[in-house]
Amino acid sequence: MRFVADSPQDMPWHVYTDKAGLYARFRWDYAPELVAKVASRTGLTPDHAVADIGAGTGILTQHFLDRAKRVYCVEPNVAMLREADSRLSSHPAFVSVRGRAEATGLPDNSVHLIVAGMAFDWFQPEEALREFQRILSPVGWLAVFRYKVDGPLLRKMSGYLWELPQPPRSIRPGTNDPDRYMTVGYLTEECKCSCEETFEQYIGGVSATEGAPSLGSPEYNESYAAHRRAFLALSVDGKLRMEYTCVATVGRLRQP
């Protein structure tokens, strides 16, 4: 099912338009254990609706499809949403929504749980909070999922990449501070995660990030060579073990 809400096209999240395919294939997943804890904490049942805001290619959305009657995949970037559609539209709970955190187009009091992943700091906090208050049921919840590269691995990689110029980053209007959205007493859970990547998977994930040089650009070959050296130095038998921490914060919305 598809629903279309108003969505400006000249917005900063369109830096991902040319990276949508890479993002869908190579970005890390969120920990299923944390999804299960959030579902339990919020009392999510198969009769409820969930809205994944800034859902991108549906990496987080997919974890809720078998847990809810309806899961709205709300994303402003057409290319990213198209990737989600191609992977998830066959599931009866999936609803594709072209919309923004500040203007989802969803009905009033229509969802039991709002979730957001790594797109959380793209949201305009006060406008998004008002919209969340509008679409969330009176007993509803907000859960924010994020992940971060663990320190030891980050330091090892930095030793090989420090000479690369810092990629440009879009100015993000939002914040990762849950106090801007949630009342006192919210709960934060963490889970250690890891995966083993081939070089194709590794460089695909790197290339999917904001600011990474695009294939064919003057900066791409230099970046590729540096990451190749890092991978060869740190990998074992052609696989690099990536270690990261997945974090979920869940609570009630505060008043705008």
CATH code of the domain covering residue 103: 3.40.50.150
Q: Which tokens go with 105?
A: 């187009």
Q: Which tokens go with 184?
A: 């006192």
- Residue 89, domain extent: 2-251
What per-residue confidence (pLDDT) applies to 167?
Answer: 62
Are 35 and 75 spatial neighbours (Cβ–Cβ below 8 Å)?
A: no
CA 100 to chain CA mean position, Å: 14
What per-residue confidence (pLDDT) applies to 61?
Answer: 98
What per-residue confidence (pLDDT) applies to 213?
Answer: 86
Which DSSP symbol is given to 12? G
Find the radius of gyration of the CA atoms of the chain. 18
In a structure prediction context, what are the per-residue pLDDT tens digits for the chain, which is 256 residues long? 544 444 444 466 678 899 999 999 999 999 999 999 999 999 999 999 999 999 999 999 999 999 999 999 999 999 999 999 999 999 999 999 999 999 999 999 999 999 999 999 999 999 999 999 999 999 999 999 999 988 888 888 888 888 887 666 666 778 889 999 999 999 999 999 999 999 999 999 999 988 888 877 888 999 999 999 999 999 999 999 999 999 999 999 998 6
How many structural domains compose the chain? 1
Q: Tell me if 15 is assigned to some domain.
A: yes
Would you list the DSSP string of 142-183?
EEEEEEEE-HHHHHHHHHHHTTSPPPP---------GGGTB-
What per-residue confidence (pLDDT) applies to 89?
Answer: 97
- Nearest-CA neighbor of 81 among 95, 106, 98? 98
What per-residue confidence (pLDDT) applies to 116?
Answer: 98
Q: Tell me if 181 is assigned to some domain.
A: yes
Are 55 and 73 spatial neighbours (Cβ–Cβ below 8 Å)?
A: yes
Q: Tell me if 90 is assigned to some domain.
A: yes
What per-residue confidence (pLDDT) applies to 95?
Answer: 98
What per-residue confidence (pLDDT) applies to 3?
Answer: 47
**pTM score of the predicted model:** 0.91
Are 109 and 219 spatial neighbours (Cβ–Cβ below 8 Å)?
A: no
Q: Tell me if 105 is assigned to some domain.
A: yes
H/E element holding 126? Answer: helix 125-135
Query: β-pairing, 240-251 with 136-149?
Result: antiparallel
Dihedral over Cα of 21, 103, 127, 138: its sign: negative
Are 101 and 8 spatial neighbours (Cβ–Cβ below 8 Å)?
A: no
Q: Tell me if 124 is assigned to some domain.
A: yes
Q: Tell me if 256 is assigned to some domain.
A: no
Strand partners, 177: none
